[in-house]
Amino acid sequence: MDRILNDLIKDNENVKEDMYNARVNALIRQKYSQDKVEAIIANYLSYLSGESANQNYKTEYFEFQEYRQKCKETAKNETNDNA
């Protein structure tokens, strides 16, 4: 009986994590396409390596990270509200 209960709890946690990840992705995609995210990361790496001195790459990257953190917090709150 305990094993069945533990399996159900684990399954519920996995579903909750999947819902959270899907929601974070959906929120991020409302503002940033996958292509845009890849460009932001590539530009930032170019800036870090010294290949580019464009300060906008750094700013854009940190703006993306800030938005990403907000999306995670929103998804966490929504996931907990629906638990």
**Stated pTM of the model:** 0.81
**What per-residue confidence (pLDDT) applies to 75?**
96
Q: What confidence tens digit (pLDDT) does each residue in 55-70 have?
A: 999 999 999 999 999 9
**What per-residue confidence (pLDDT) applies to 54?**
95
Low-confidence ranges of the chain (pLDDT < 70): 1, 4-9, 11, 82-83
| Domain regions of the chain by residue span | 32-83
| Helical spans, DSSP H, in 1-83 | 2-31, 34-49, 55-81
**What per-residue confidence (pLDDT) applies to 47?**
97
Tell me which residue has tokens 């580019």. Answer: 52
End-to-end CA separation in angstroms for the chain: 23
Within 13 Å, how many C-alpha atoms sit on residue 15's CB side? 8
What is the spatial distance between Cα 83 and Cα 74, in angstroms, rounded to a whole number?
14
**What per-residue confidence (pLDDT) applies to 12?**
73
Q: Name the nearest CA neighbour of 28 among 58, 62, 65, 56.
A: 65
Per DSSP, 51 falls in state S
